[in-house]
Amino acid sequence: MIEVLVVDDDVRVAQVNAAYVEKVPGFHVAGEAHSAAEALGCLRTLPRLDLVLMDHYLPDETGLEVVQEMRRRGHQADVIMVTAARDVSTVQAAMRHGALQYLVKPFAFAGLRVKLEAYAELRRTLDGGGEAEQAEVDRIFGALSASAEPQLPKGHSPTTAELVRQSLMHAGGPLSAQEIAERTGLSRQTAQRYLKLLERTGRARLTLKYGDAGRPEHRYVWATRA
């Protein structure tokens, strides 16, 4: 599990963000903090911390000042800024201090979900260790920047897209359009249409299953499982 600290001066917002984090498979909220002092205290007392969702506007210091102090103390937890601060100077400072991502409030669950999924994919890549060729380096640096949620074409339902996405993401292996249809209650044609959309936007990969005769069966696997 990826252990997360949620930092926000608004208690209610922190609770909402924590609930969002808990909905993403592989993530666990290790703690919440509502000030710079509380955040630094959590960094000192929590047994393990992988990621900090950091608000910028805190009552005692800014989020970026907390990040600076974290690094000065030797804390290596990754940081995603989650804040209403949208001025370019703050965004630039966040980059310079090593924030991996910057999510501007207000946002929906989907906005945070794609960034957390991209972060999880980045960690899987880095955990492999060893040396990296240029293609692997490009993949590491591009893992987070390529995480934007694709815009749905006209005639596509966000609810249906999310249904297909969830079924594919939580599957144990490749699924056909018929299998997605059976899991979701959609028609096979509808499932196929949304699977092709996920493939075109890079969220799913197409694999072929060859039988004894006839055309190969198209099967799809969630891309971050690769």
Specify the pLDDT at position 10: 95
Distance separating alpha carbons of residues 147 and 37, to the nearest angstrom: 32
In single-letter form, the type of residue at position 23 comes to K
Q: 7-21, 31-45, 105-119, 210-224: which has the minimum mean pLDDT? A: 210-224
pLDDT of 70-93, one tens digit each? 999 999 899 999 988 888 888 888
Specify the pLDDT at position 148: 47
- pLDDT at residue 225 tops 50: no
pLDDT of 190-205, one tens digit each? 999 999 988 887 778 8
- pLDDT at residue 136 tops 70: no
Specify the pLDDT at position 38: 97
- pLDDT at residue 20 tops 70: yes
* Range picked from 27-36, 173-182, 190-199 for highest mean pLDDT: 27-36
Specify the pLDDT at position 51: 96
- DSSP letters, the chain, are -EEEEEE-SSHHHHHHHHHHHHHSTTEEEEEEESSHHHHHHHHHH-S---EEEE-SB-SSSBHHHHHHHHHHTT---EEEEEES---HHHHHHHHHTT-SEEEESS--HHHHHHHHHHHHHHHHHHHT-S---HHHHHHHHHHHHT-PPPPPPTT--HHHHHHHHHHHHT-SS-EEHHHHHHHHS--HHHHHHHHHHHHHTTSEEEEEE--SSSSPEEEEEEGGG-
- pLDDT at residue 110 tops 70: yes
State the average pLDDT over residues 26-35: 96
Q: How far apart are the first and last CA of the chain?
A: 18
Q: 50-54, 68-72, 112-116: which has the minimum mean pLDDT? A: 112-116
Contacts 24+ apart (CB under 8 A), 83-87: 83/54, 83/55, 83/56, 83/57, 84/56, 84/57, 85/56, 85/57
State the average pLDDT over residues 128-139: 63
- Kindly report the CA angle at 197 between 186 and 109, in degrees rounded to 5? 80
pTM above 0.95, yes or no: no
**Neighbouring-strand partners of residue 5:** 31, 52
Measured in whole angstroms, the distance separating CA 212 from the mean position of its chain's CA atoms is 40
- pLDDT at residue 165 tops 50: yes
pLDDT of 203-223, one tens digit each? 788 888 876 666 788 999 887
Distance separating alpha carbons of residues 154 and 141, to the nearest angstrom: 32
> 137: pLDDT confidence band, cut at 50, 70 and 90?
low
Q: Directed axis angle between helix 109-127 and helix 134-145, to 10°?
A: 160
